Amino acid sequence: MIDLRSDTVTRPTPAMRHAMANAEVGDDVFGEDPTVHGLEDELAGMLGHEAGVFCPSGTMTNQIAIHLHTRAGDEVICEEGAHFYRYEGGGVMANSGASVKLIPGDRGRFTADQVRSAINDPKAEWLARTSLVSLENTCNRGGGAVWDLNEVKAIRKLCKSHGLAIHLDGARLFNALAATQEAPDAWGREFDTVSICLSKGLGAPVGSVLVGSKELVAEARRVRKRLGGGMRQVGVLAAAGLHAIRHHRARIDEDHVRAHRLRTVLEGLDHVQRVMPVDTNIIIYELREDHAADVHVAELKANGVLCMAISSHQVRMVTHLDITDADIEHTMHVLQRRGS
Ligand SMILES: Cc1ncc(COP(=O)(O)O)c(C=O)c1O
């Protein structure tokens, strides 16, 4: 099967497995795992932050960040497709007692002006206190859309002038950076906290790192423990993450080129109504009214290609480390045969 459902499906390469098998480990709840420290320090340094904390998932790093920046009753400003709002089990309400103010964006992105009008007047005691603005780069529900750093800078400035924290869900930040050629620290410095997923475009099996100031990360460790995310000899997983950031970043572009090839074919198919622009490794397309997404997905599956229906007429494909040029050619062939 050619699995284009998500970039989370990658399996560790032989070299990554070797690094995992040879990792030096210790009890990380006691702060004694050197490989975990290595991963946390390397990512924090790369993003221009003081410290990092390794967590089991991107859901946990996002949820911890929201908890650090809010108090019960506060409001978080985010885009209406934000992962932490849509797909993290209502965690923002359950874990932090906070609510959200949703901005309708352009493929997941929004402007400083939109943020300005979403901030509640702090003098109005009947309104929820706005305490955090959260961005996602790339935007998953926006088809892997990439933000403009200048807009981020304007949002950051606005947040500072209103005393608001700013968090980045950077589950696929390295895909964004591969597309724009910007430096990780140029992005990292614009945020109080950044969540990086190792298990998506980077191709590690598990794990995310939250970076921030020493004080924020010390508090994040407490929240991680409370949520059950303290892990023991977890250097075997951190080693996979370190291998991914050292050896897989340079190849991310290949995934983007393959995604563009798929887009080109999809655009020429009669039963495809619209293909969202492709900036990185995510392709979202919409079928014509008389074509249901689940039927389309089942047809592709019968021909050896897995993809995902994300609404009644929308389908998502994601390229990643385990997808080769031959896989793309097979998928293009299946799509074209189906479309003729
Ligand atoms: C943008 C974004 N943020 C956060 C997550 C959560 O990551 P995890 O599945 O590791 O909890 C995902 C997962 O796909 C995601 O796409």
Domain boundary among 249, 279, 298: 249
Q: How far apart are CA 81 and CA 103, in angstroms?
A: 9
pLDDT of residue 337: 87
In this structure, the residue with its CA closest to atom 13 of ligand 1 is 58
Query: CA 75, CA 129: separation in Å to the nearest integer?
Result: 6
Residues 275 and 333 in one domain: yes
Please check whether residues 190 and 325 belong to one and the same domain: no
- Specify whether 185 is located in the same domain as 330: no
| Alpha-carbon span 275 to 282, nearest angstrom | 11
Residues with CB under 6 A from ligand 1: 57-59, 62, 83, 136, 140, 169, 171, 197, 199, 208
Please tell me the residue having the least CA distance from ligand 1 atom 5: 58
Could you read off the pLDDT of 115-152 as tens digits, one per residue?
Answer: 999 999 999 999 999 999 999 999 999 999 999 999 99
Ligand 1: centre distance to CA 60 (Å)? 9
d(CA 203, CA 7): 7
Q: Is the pLDDT of residue 296 over 50?
A: yes
Confidence of residue 45 (pLDDT cuts 50, 70, 90): very high
Residue whose CB lies within 8 A of the most ligand 1 atoms, among 5, 6, 87, 167, for a mutation test = 87
6 Cα–ligand 1 center, Å:
11
**What 3-state class would DSSP assign to 211?**
strand
Chain centroid, CA 264 distance in Å: 25
Same domain, 20 and 165: yes
What's the pLDDT score for residue 340? Answer: 38
Same domain (yes/no): 243, 288: no
Residue 171 CA to ligand 1 centre (angstroms): 6
Residue 2 within a domain: no
The model's pLDDT over 163-194, given as tens digits with 9 standing for 90+, comes to: 999 999 999 999 999 999 999 999 999 999 99
**Residue 137, domain extent:** 12-249
- The CATH number that applies at residue 26 is 3.40.640.10
Query: Pick from 249, 268, 292: which residue ends a domain?
Result: 249
Q: Report the pLDDT averaged over residues 314-333.
A: 98
Contact 307, 173 (CB under 8 A): no
**pLDDT tens per residue, range 28-39:** 999 999 999 999
